[in-house]
Structure 1
Amino acid sequence: MLEIILDFFAKYSSAEIVIIVFIFGGWLFLFYLLFFASLHLLAEYKSDKWKKDWKYVLLAIDIPPLNVQTPKAVEQFFSHIYSVLETPSIGTKYRRGFEPYKFSLEIISIEGYIQFLIRTLDKYQDVVEAAIYAQYPDSDITEVEDYTESAPEKFPNEEYDMWGADFNLTEHYAFPIRMYSEFEHNISKDTVLKDPIGTFLESFSRIGSGEQMWYQIIIEPAEGAAWKKECIKKIKELIGEDVKHKPGMFSWVFDNPITKEIGKSFEEMGAQMTGGIRAEDTGSKSSDDGSPNQLQYLTPGQKKLVEAMEDKIGKIGFKTKIRAIYLATKVSFKPSNGVNSLIGAINQFNIPTSNSLAPNYVTSAEYFNATERAEHRKRQLMKAFRKRKTSTGKKADVLNIEELATIWHFPMSHVATPNVQSATLKTSEPPSGLPMEFVNLPVEEIVENESAKKKRYQTDSGDTAYGDDMNFG
Structure 2
Amino acid sequence: MEVGSDLFNILITGGFFVFVFICVYLIYAIFRSNKLKHELKHIKSFTSFKISVSEEIAQKGNEPQKNYQEEISVAEQFFGSLSNLYEGSIEKKLYNDQMPISLEIIAWEGKMEFFCICPSEIASILERQINSFWPTAQIAKEKLPNIFKINDGAMASAYLKLDKKFILPIRTYKNLESDSLNSLTNSLSKLGENSGAAIQVIVKPITDDWRKMGAINAKKVQEGKSITSTKWYMKVLGFIFEMLSNVFHGGQDSKKASSNPYDDMVRLTPIQEQTLKALNEKVSKTALATNVRVVATALTDREATLNLKNITTSFGQFSSPELNRFKIKKGNGENIRDYILRRFSGKGMILNTEELASIYHFPSHYVATPNIAWSRAKEMPPPANLPQEGTILGKSVYRGEEQMVRIKPEDRRRHIFMIGKTGVGKTTLFANAIEQDVREGKGCCYIDPLGDAIEDLLGKIPQERWQDVILFDPADTQFPLGLNLLEFKNPEERDFLIQETIQIFYKLFDPGQTGIVGPQWEHWFRNAALTIMAQPGGGTLIDIPRIFTDDAYRTKLVSYVTDPIVKS
Q: TM-score, normalised by structure 1?
A: 0.64
CA distance 1:62–1:28, shift in 2 (3 Å): farther
Aligned twin of 2:153: 160
Residue 73 (1) aligns with residue 74 (2): yes
Contact 2:246 2:252 in 1 (8 A): no
Which amino acid counterpart does residue 325 of structure 2 have in structure 1?
A: S
CA distance 1:384–1:429, shift in 2 (3 Å): same
Residue ranges of structure 1 left out of the alignment (5+ in a row): 1-15, 185-193, 244-266, 268-276, 364-376, 441-473
Which amino acid counterpart does residue 50 of structure 2 have in structure 1?
A: A
Question: How do 1:1-400 and structure 2 match up within 5 A?
Answer: 38-50=26-38, 52-54=40-42, 55-66=45-56, 70-89=71-90, 99-148=97-146, 151=148, 159-184=152-177, 194-225=178-209, 227-240=210-223, 296-330=266-300, 333=303, 335-336=305-306, 338-360=307-329, 362-363=330-331, 377=332, 379-391=333-345, 395-400=347-352
CA distance 1:112–1:92, shift in 2 (3 Å): closer
Which amino acid counterpart does residue 291 of structure 2 have in structure 1?
A: K
Partner Cα separation in structure 2 for residue 302 and residue 140 of structure 1: 46
Bigger radius of gyration: 2
CA distance 1:428–1:175, shift in 2 (3 Å): same
Residue ranges of structure 2 left out of the alignment (5+ in a row): 1-5, 59-67, 227-239, 254-260, 389-407, 411-568
Contact 2:156 2:304 in 1 (8 A): no
Partner Cα separation in structure 1 for residue 110 and residue 291 of structure 2: 24
* Deviation at residue 381 of structure 1 after TM alignment: 1.9
Contact 2:224 2:268 in 1 (8 A): no
CA distance 1:151–1:84, shift in 2 (3 Å): same
CA distance 1:40–1:400, shift in 2 (3 Å): farther
CA distance 1:414–1:37, shift in 2 (3 Å): same
Partner Cα separation in structure 1 for residue 314 and residue 198 of structure 2: 14
- Which digits, 9 at most, give the CA deviation of each residue in 1:289-328, with x for residues without a partner? xx99987421112101111111101111111111101111
Which amino acid counterpart does residue 174 of structure 2 have in structure 1?
A: S
Please point out which of 416, 421, 429 is paired with 2:373: 421
Partner Cα separation in structure 2 for residue 216 and residue 40 of structure 1: 31
Contact 2:156 2:301 in 1 (8 A): no
Contact 1:106 1:217 in 2 (8 A): yes
CA distance 1:175–1:29, shift in 2 (3 Å): farther
Q: Find the residue that maps to 1:70 and give its secondary structure.
A: helix
- Which digits, 9 at most, give the CA deviation of each residue in 1:381-403, with x for residues without a partner? 211111122327xx511000110
Partner Cα separation in structure 2 for residue 433 and residue 43 of structure 1: 54
- Which digits, 9 at most, give the CA deviation of each residue in 1:36-88, with x for residues without a partner? 65544333333334554440111111111128751110011112222110123
Partner Cα separation in structure 1 for residue 252 and residue 309 of structure 2: 53
Q: Find the residue that maps to 1:147 and give its secondary structure.
A: coil
- Which digits, 9 at most, give the CA deviation of each residue in 1:343-380, with x for residues without a partner? 231000010111001212x15xxxxxxxxxxxxx2x22
Partner Cα separation in structure 1 for residue 265 and residue 327 of structure 2: 30
- Which digits, 9 at most, give the CA deviation of each residue in 1:168-224, with x for residues without a partner? 11001010001111125xxxxxxxxx1111111111111121000111111111211
Which amino acid counterpart does residue 56 of structure 1 have in structure 2?
A: F
* Deviation at residue 115 of structure 1 after TM alignment: 0.7
* Deviation at residue 133 of structure 1 after TM alignment: 1.1
Contact 1:102 1:220 in 2 (8 A): yes
Which amino acid counterpart does residue 398 of structure 1 have in structure 2?
A: I
Q: Mean alpha-carbon deviation: is it higher for 26-35 or for 200-209?
A: 26-35
Partner Cα separation in structure 2 for residue 216 and residue 293 of structure 1: 51
Partner Cα separation in structure 1 for residue 263 and residue 184 of structure 2: 41
Contact 2:164 2:324 in 1 (8 A): yes
CA distance 1:278–1:420, shift in 2 (3 Å): closer
* Deviation at residue 279 of structure 1 after TM alignment: 9.7
Q: Find the residue that maps to 2:318 and give its secondary structure.
A: coil
CA distance 1:230–1:27, shift in 2 (3 Å): farther
Contact 2:166 2:351 in 1 (8 A): yes
Q: Aligned residue pairs: how many?
A: 347
Partner Cα separation in structure 2 for residue 34 and residue 233 of structure 1: 39
Aligned twin of 1:430: 383
Q: TM-score, normalised by structure 2?
A: 0.54
Which amino acid counterpart does residue 218 of structure 2 have in structure 1?
A: I
* Deviation at residue 127 of structure 1 after TM alignment: 1.4
Structure number with the higher helix fraction is: 2
Partner Cα separation in structure 1 for residue 252 and residue 304 of structure 2: 61
* Deviation at residue 431 of structure 1 after TM alignment: 3.3
Aligned twin of 1:463: none
Which amino acid counterpart does residue 74 of structure 1 have in structure 2?
A: A
Partner Cα separation in structure 1 for residue 74 and residue 374 of structure 2: 17
Contact 1:317 1:398 in 2 (8 A): yes
Partner Cα separation in structure 2 for residue 293 and residue 78 of structure 1: 45
Q: Find the residue that maps to 1:348 and give its secondary structure.
A: helix
Which amino acid counterpart does residue 182 of structure 1 have in structure 2?
A: N
